[in-house]
Amino acid sequence: KNQVEQSPQSLIILEGKNCTLQCNYTVSPFSNLRWYKQDTGRGPVSLTIMTFSENTKSNGRYTATLDADTKQSSLHITASQLSDSASYICVVSAGGGSYIPTFGRGTSLIVHP
């Protein structure tokens, strides 16, 4: 069964600090991995998309990495801001004609002033 596990479940950091969120997956065959940011009460917003051949992708202060061999990804947030407080969701899609993505449960990040 395809699975996506995210850690930690929740994280509290001080404004200005860096943090790294983890995503491990067992989806096969692999097509792409996405990171989303979801603010409370809103829909997810795409941060990065990586395919098999990409091992890093940046979007401003967000940098995602992918190790397709170990089936791990990380999302690094640099110089955190209060507006980074949100849930961060890792999503992995399989290839081979499957249109059903597998979502992780998300990491809840709280940035304190």
Q: How far is the CB of 14 from other proteins (least distance, A)?
A: 27
- Is the preceding peptide bond at 44 cis, omega within 30 degrees of 0? no
Q: How far is the CB of 31 from other proteins (least distance, A)?
A: 5
**Whose Cβ is closer to other proteins: residue 19's or residue 106's?**
106
CB 111, CB 39: distance < 8 Å: no
Q: How far is the CB of 17 from other proteins (least distance, A)?
A: 27
Query: β-strand 10-14 against 107-112: which pairing, if any?
Result: parallel
**Whose Cβ is closer to other proteins: residue 41's or residue 113's?**
41
Q: How far is the CB of 100 from other proteins (least distance, A)?
A: 5
CB 92, CB 2: distance < 8 Å: yes
Q: How many CB atoms lie within 10 A of CB 29?
A: 9
> Which residue ranges make up the site for other proteins (CB under 8 A)?
4, 31-32, 34, 41-46, 49, 51, 89, 91, 93, 95, 99-106
**Whose Cβ is closer to other proteins: residue 77's or residue 89's?**
89
- Please identify which residue in the block is written with the tokens 């801001």: 81
**Whose Cβ is closer to other proteins: residue 18's or residue 55's?**
55
Amino acid letter, 104? G
